Amino acid sequence: MNGRAAAAPAVRWITVARAQLRRDLALVWARRGDALQPLLFALMTASLFPLALGAEPGRLEPLAAGVLWVCVLLSGLLGLDALFRSDTEDGGLEQMLLSPAPLALLVAVRVLVHWLTTALPLLLVAPLLASMLQLPTALLPVLMASLALGTPLLSLIGAVVAALTVGVRRSGILLPLLALPLYVPVLVFGAGSVAAAAEGLDPLGALLLLAGALVLALVLAPLAAAAALRIAHT
């Protein structure tokens, strides 16, 4: 009996989290045109570099990893302002605060949806963009590993910044100014791992740093974002 009673809250939390996940995915599907904007932005931005620098062999190769990482980073900023904005306008934030599940868990679900709808499509087209930017095929596994570790980290950091600015007017301008300096270390280690592999060095150190930062952010970022949302609601 005691074991069942102790497990009951966890079961309720999982049920609420699943309902939140289905709701958020349904809302994204209803506004799927908006969800495609980060992907289209990244594709258009990446295509500008071959047009500007030329497509001669070897010209784009040294820049390919950095260009891809910058495109992914900037495209992820497009949807951050709306991450919690609609909840403050339609009463969804009050429902999240009154939910039997911890607010941090619901924030983590929201971050997961943001990653699935913005970063995951970019991961799927990254090999195509890498080929267009003349990235050597041997470096593609390192690039994909860095993006797989770095993009969730970007979403988690962005969620904290979005929660901090959710009650600020014209936060669409303030949010990138706050988020970009926090994104720089992720960009440095993500692109740096590919650069190290291109020079014949071991990229494992940079990837492990990204993995460690991701684990830390998975624990702390939902708690920090939840605290910021509570402050914004008061």
pLDDT tens readout for residues 200-217: 899 999 999 999 999 999
Q: Distance of CA 151 to CAs 5, 20, 41, 51, Å?
A: 38, 22, 16, 26
| Amino acid at position 13, single letter | W
Rounded to a whole number of angstroms, the distance between the first and last alpha carbons of the chain is 39
Say if residue 1's pLDDT is above 50.
no
* pLDDT 10s digits, 96-135: 888 788 889 999 999 999 999 889 999 999 999 998 888 9
Q: Please give the Cα distance from 159 to 46 (Å, whole number).
A: 25
Quick one: pLDDT band at residue 152, thresholds 50, 70, 90?
very high
C-alpha to C-alpha distance for 135 and 63, rounded to whole angstroms: 8
Of the pLDDT bands very low, low, confident and very high (cuts 50, 70, 90), residue 171 is: low
Q: How far is residue 116's CA from residue 111's CA, in Å, rounded to a whole number?
A: 9
CB of 143 closer than 8 Å to CB of 136 = no
CA torsion 131-134-138-143 (nearest 10°) is -70
Any idea what the Cα angle at residue 92 is, between residues 88 and 97, rounded to 5°?
95
pLDDT for the residue 93:
75
